[in-house]
Structure 1
């Protein structure tokens, strides 16, 4: 297994990996439209911070990736990226995404009425960096994820970052265990994520942090 930084010629292979990495997990897809989801969670990192994008490769095949951002406050917000993708792909006119966003609006309205905590990004100077990591099903247990995280930690230490946060799902127990093993600890409440369902049930955001 080789861990290396992203190169421009990796774009096509990385987009293909994006559509299959995480398969079978609660975070496999949001609304079943990989092109728009990649525009939110992959392409901005290739375009704006490629030096923080690491790839796991074996025998010339990409098996995992980590997209990172050293300063979340300087990166386009998740909401802005979602709005841009919705417009670019006309998601409101597509049946499955439209159903997701309608359900999301209802979930958010219900949470507001109950004055429940809301899911979303965090902005805390103690943990300004953030990451997303995914590996292909066949690469789980091979050390690919560990290698990607170790390279990311080196990047943050060289940059002088005080800390990093990430967001996963409570229901993604494998991911929560992995991040705990890598030194992250749970932080804050676990609100339900508007719109998202896994096996027909609500899912809940789990924020985790690590200081350096």
Structure 2
């Protein structure tokens, strides 16, 4: 059975949750590397499905969802909504670290409490949207990532969004090669940022 790229449905949420964890450690399975790996979908999948499900698309192989792309058309608005509507639900389960993060769990908890740090103001006009894309190993190298991306790009163009960006660990060389093939380019940023993270952009016009 061929894999279908289709809009997200609420019944897909558990699959998004599972995929996010199983690809959440630089593209590898984060299970066993975090005390509570649910922090990953809480940050990088579930809020997108709730805030703007029209910009979430999945790869469905007929048995389950094996990949997805999620997106926020306006990054500044997304992070503001995350703080106002989302953080209160999870602040007690994932408390902010008392000091500098001591491990991966605290790194992600700190990011949950300060998600606006992911905002890149200097590219906001040209690349206001941002995305996350994840595919299970069985869905990789089949063209599904490209199909998910172009489905999302069409939806963003319909809304008049001029560009989309993403942040990527430089360790994830497979992802870097994929984004290069799609047409993403690294954006030169003027402010000091973590050199291990690259910001890539794609123009939609």
TM above 0.5: yes
2:44 to 38, 41, 46: 41
Query: What's the offset of the Cα at 1:87?
Result: 2.2
Find out whether 1:186 has 2:178 as its counterpart.
Answer: no
Change in CA separation of 1:85 and 1:32 when aligned onto 2, cut-off 3 Å: farther
1:72 to 68, 71, 75: 75
User: What's the TM-score once normalised by structure 2's chain length?
Assistant: 0.76
- Cα distance in 2 for partners of 1:140, 1:206 equals 22
- Cα distance in 2 for partners of 1:24, 1:122 equals 21
Query: 1:21, 1:64 within 8 Å by CA — same for their partners in 2?
Result: no
- Alpha-carbon RMSD across the aligned residues, in angstroms, is 3.1
Larger RCO (CA under 8 A, 6+ residues apart): 1
Unaligned runs of 5+ in 1: 105-118, 193-202
User: What's the TM-score once normalised by structure 1's chain length?
Assistant: 0.74
- Cα distance in 2 for partners of 1:102, 1:36 equals 10
Unaligned runs of 5+ in 2: 109-116
Q: Which residue of 2 aligns with 1:126?
A: 126
Query: What's the offset of the Cα at 1:171?
Result: 1.3
Q: Which residue of 2 aligns with 1:207?
A: 199
2:55 to 42, 46, 52: 52
Alignment size in residue pairs? 185
